[in-house]
Structure 1
Amino acid sequence: MIGLDESSSSARISRYETGIHEPPFATAQNLGQVLNVPAAYFYCEDDKLAELLIQYTRLDAKRRKQVLNLAAELHAEMD
């Protein structure tokens, strides 16, 4: 579904999972498209940030702006 050659896909995915190789960004984009998550999701080291990315991308433009404004307000309160 993401355009990998089936004859080598198992070995390639195994190398990605073990950290021997990193997939090209285009592969992460294709995988994200199939799984309905943003490509950035695969690069998150924090589970909560990964969840935030998923929820954010599912919002419409108006609500995304609200989230960004809220984050800015919360950050300003920290100063």
Structure 2
Amino acid sequence: MRDAVLARLRAGEKLHQQIVDGRRQWWFDEPFQDVPDAVVVKIRAGGEFALVEVGDSLFGLPDNSQTWEGIDGV
């Protein structure tokens, strides 16, 4: 799953997030793909590929954006 998510991010697709019942839910649109939070946590912790907030953060809180994109080689 991690490799599939990285491939979509490297292709320029945006990853979307919302918080439901205190937990983060992640997904891609078109075609829809649900992404487990554990996969996103591993990608963010790995350091080979940075996920950054696009800037649509609810209430201006860090790590709370609804849309994320990748920056390769960071």
Structure possessing the higher relative contact order (Cα contacts under 8 Å, 6 or more residues apart): 2
Does TM, normalized by the shorter one, top 0.5? no
Normalized per residue, the structure richer in helix is: 1
Calculate the TM-score normalised by the size of structure 2: 0.31
Flag the structure with larger Rg: 1
Calculate the TM-score normalised by the size of structure 1: 0.29
